[in-house]
Amino acid sequence: MLHFDPSKKHDAILLVDCLDGNPNGDPDAGNQPRIDPETRHGLISDACMKRKVRNYVVFTKKGEVNYKIFVEEGSVLNDKIEKAYSELKIDVKKKSTPEKQKKARNWMIENFYDIRMFGAVLNTGLNAGQVWGPLQISWGRSYDPVLPISATITRCAATEAKEGKDNKTMGRKELIPYGLFKIEIHYNPGLGDKVSSDDLKLFWESLLNCWEFDRSSSRSSMNCRGLFIFTHDSKWGNVASHKLFDLLSVKSIAPTPRSINDYEINIDGDVPDGVTLWNN
């Protein structure tokens, strides 16, 4: 059973792999897969992971109270801040006060799932302050170097007739043959006073299942390969997170890994007292 007590500290490791796809394209590099230029390890940004969680909530909680998404594709953020003032019937013509800002901020925390979980800057228009979210997601990094490939493709139909009498145009697909990525996650209950057990349960479920809603030609085979959640008995934690993460051993057993079967994944040693491990 998933751990979803919001009054406890949680540290987690998510394992995700990608086969013949682009796990996270870099717009500054022609949408090539993100890599560490020194080690050639693959990278996945925290923003990429949060987008997948947000999309999962949109698909599974659409229309439900208190599960709106603030950072939604195509939306205008300032309009949503204005809606908070409007719903609370706060006169925006009068000077804003800390009390008004607090009311608007609390309304947005209550109504927007991603603000409750990840936090947000809410002073870009009407001022509703800032929210420091209890969940922090690290950049993902592959266990082994990855090989970015840029493959040329042909389109048999042209956009405009002048492009050529055979109406063929060229394009590119960016991918890696394979990569297994580690993503670290931390939940701080000191910042989660507005988070419910259902909120936290939904987050863990999204990490397991969001990949099924994210299929595309560039991510047709990207999957969760493991979720390891360390739950502390105390609010402030019983053991440093890095010591818990060191218990997870992921070793390549092939010269060139090309599937999850080319890795041995184990928990080495005993989980310390005061900490419970759940893994999938």
Predicted pLDDT at 2: 66
151 and 29, same structural domain?
yes
Predicted pLDDT at 163: 55
Q: Which of 63-67, 169-173, 246-250 has the highest mean pLDDT?
A: 246-250
163 and 35, same structural domain?
yes
CB-based burial label for 15 (10 Å; 0-12, 13-18, 19+): buried
pLDDT greater than 90 at residue 135: yes
Q: Are 250 and 260 in contact (CB under 8 A)?
A: no
Give mean pLDDT, residues 103-109.
Answer: 96
CB atoms within 10 A of CB 45: 16
Domain end among 89, 122, 138: 138
The CA distance from 115 to 68, in Å, is 9
263 and 227, same structural domain?
yes
Q: Are 47 and 202 in contact (CB under 8 A)?
A: no
Q: What digits encode the pLDDT tens for the residues 210-264?
A: 999 999 988 889 999 999 999 999 999 999 999 999 999 999 999 999 999 999 9
In a domain, 54, yes or no: no
In a domain, 81, yes or no: yes
Give mean pLDDT, residues 95-108.
Answer: 92
Average confidence score pLDDT of the chain:
93
193 and 103, same structural domain?
no
Domain range for 20? 2-45+139-279
The answer for residues whose C-beta is within 8 angstroms of residue 172's C-beta and 6 or more apart is: 30, 150, 151, 152, 153
pTM of the model: 0.92
191 and 107, same structural domain?
no
Tell me how many domains the chain contains. 2
143 and 243, same structural domain?
yes
165 and 147, same structural domain?
yes
Phi and psi at residue 189, to the nearest 5°: -65, -20
Phi and psi at residue 249, to the nearest 5°: -110, 120
112 and 149, same structural domain?
no
Give mean pLDDT, residues 89-99.
Answer: 87
